[in-house]
Chain A
Amino acid sequence: MRIVTVRRISQTFFLLLFVWLCIVSSFGMEWWQLRGWPVNWFLQLDPLVALGTMLTTGTLYGGLLWALVTIILTILLGRFFCGWVCPFGALHHLVGFLGKWGKSASYKVAINQYHRHHSIKYDVLLFLLAAAAGTLLAESIRIAFNNSLIHWILIAATVCLAALAVAKSFSKGKRAASICLVLIGVWAVLGFFFGAGQMLGASLQTGLLDPIPLVHRSVNLALLSLADANPQKLSSSQRYYEGAWVIGAIFLGAILLNLKRPRFYCRFLCPLGALLGLLGRFSLWKITKKTDDCRHCKLCEANCEGGCEPAAAIRTNECVLCMNCLQECKHDFITFGALPSSSGEIASPELSRREVMTTLLSGVALLPMLNLSGSTVRNYNPAVIRPPGALAEADFLRRCLKCGQCMRICPTNIIQPAGMEAGVEGLWTPILNFRIGTSGCQLNCVACSFVCPTAAIRPLSLDEKRGRNDFAARGPLRIGTAFVDTGRCLPWAMDKPCIVCQENCPVSPKAIFVREFFSTIRGGVLEVRKADALTVEFRNAALPPDQLATGDYYLRRIEAGERERKLIVGNTASLATVRPDQPFSPPPGPSARLEIQVRLQRPQVDVKRCIGCGICEHECPVSGMRAVRVTAENESRSRNHSLLL
Chain B
Amino acid sequence: MNHPEEDRAIDRRQFLKRSVKAGIAIAGASLFGYALYDPTGPVSSEDRVPGLVQLPSFSPSEDGQRMAIVTGADRVASINLAFKALGGIETFVKQGDRVLIKVNAAFASPAFLCATTNPELLAEVGRLCFKAGASSVIVTDNPINNPESCFALSGLGEAVRSIGASLMLPRDAFFKPTTVSGGTLIKNWPVLYTPFEGVDKLIGIAPVKDHHRSGASMSMKNWYGLIGGRRNIFHQNINDFIKELGLMVRPTLVVLDGTMTMMTNGPTGGSLSDLKATNTMIVSTDQVAADAFGVTLLGKTALDLPYLQKAEAAGVGTAYYESLHPIRVQTG
Contact = CB atoms under 8 A, between A and B. Distances in A.
Contact of A60 (B21, B26, B33): B33
A455 B15 CA distance: 41
Contacts of B38: 59-62
Contact of A636 (B33, B44, B229): B44
Interface string B1-28: 0000000000100110011011001100
Interface string A39-56: 000000000001000100
A95 B29 CA distance: 35
B26 A72 contact: yes
A75 B33 contact: no
A198 B172 contact: yes
A338 interface: yes
A395 B42 contact: yes
A466 B69 CA distance: 56
A60 B39 CA distance: 8
B21 A282 contact: yes
A313 B18 CA distance: 19
A617 B307 CA distance: 41
Interface residues of B, number: 34
A645 to B, nearest CB: 5
Could you say which of B22, B38, B39, B172 has the most chain A C-beta atoms within 10 Å of its C-beta?
Answer: B38
Contact of B15 (A339, A391, A640): A339
A149 B97 CA distance: 30
Interface stretch (B113-121, B232-240, B277-285, B291-299): B232-240
Interface in A313-335: none
A71 interface: yes
Interface string A458-476: 1100001000000000100
B325 interface: no
A471 to B, nearest CB: 10
Nearest to B240: A645
A283 B22 contact: yes
Contact of B45 (A60, A339, A639): A639
Contacts of B172: 198
B28 to A, nearest CB: 10
A645 B41 contact: no
Contacts of B15: 284, 338-339
B272 interface: no
A645 B30 contact: no
B178 to A, nearest CB: 14
Contacts, number: 90
Interface in B31-49: 32-33, 36-46
B237 A636 contact: no
A284 B18 contact: yes
A17 interface: no
A282 to B, nearest CB: 6
A68 interface: yes
Interface in B213-238: 229-230, 233-234, 236-237
B39 A72 contact: no
B41 A75 contact: no
A60 B36 contact: yes
Contacts of A58: 36
B42 A458 contact: yes
Interface string A612-645: 0000000000000000000000001111101111
Contact of A638 (B11, B22, B45): B45
A394 to B, nearest CB: 11
B22 to A, nearest CB: 5
Given A72-B26, A645-B185, A645-B233, A636 B46 contact: yes
A340 interface: yes
Contacts of B11: 338-340
B2 to A, nearest CB: 14
B22 A282 contact: yes
B207 to A, nearest CB: 27
A65 B25 CA distance: 16
Interface in A18-67: 50, 54, 57-62, 65, 67
B233 A643 contact: yes
Contacts of B33: 50, 60, 65, 67-68
Nearest to A196: B173
A640 B41 contact: no
Contacts of B32: 54
A50 to B, nearest CB: 8
A50 B38 CA distance: 12
Contacts of A645: 185, 233-234, 236-237
Interface in A329-351: 338-340
B37 A458 contact: no
B185 A284 contact: no
Given A60-B38, A65-B37, A458 B44 contact: yes
A338 B237 CA distance: 75
Given A639-B229, A642-B230, A71 B173 contact: no
A76 interface: yes
A357 interface: no
A455 B25 CA distance: 28
Contacts of A57: 42
Interface string A65-85: 101100110011000000000
Nearest to B190: A639
A637 B45 contact: yes
Contacts of A464: 44
Given A60-B38, A638-B45, 14 more contacts: A57-B42, A59-B36, A62-B40, A67-B33, A197-B173, A279-B25, A340-B11, A340-B14, A395-B42, A458-B42, A458-B43, A637-B44, A642-B230, A642-B233
Top 4 nearest A-B pairs by Cβ distance? Answer: A455-B41, A59-B38, A60-B36, A645-B236
26 contacts: A50-B33, A54-B32, A54-B36, A59-B36, A59-B42, A62-B40, A65-B33, A65-B37, A75-B25, A75-B29, A197-B173, A198-B173, A284-B15, A284-B22, A338-B15, A455-B41, A458-B41, A458-B43, A459-B41, A636-B44, A639-B188, A640-B229, A642-B233, A644-B233, A645-B185, A645-B236
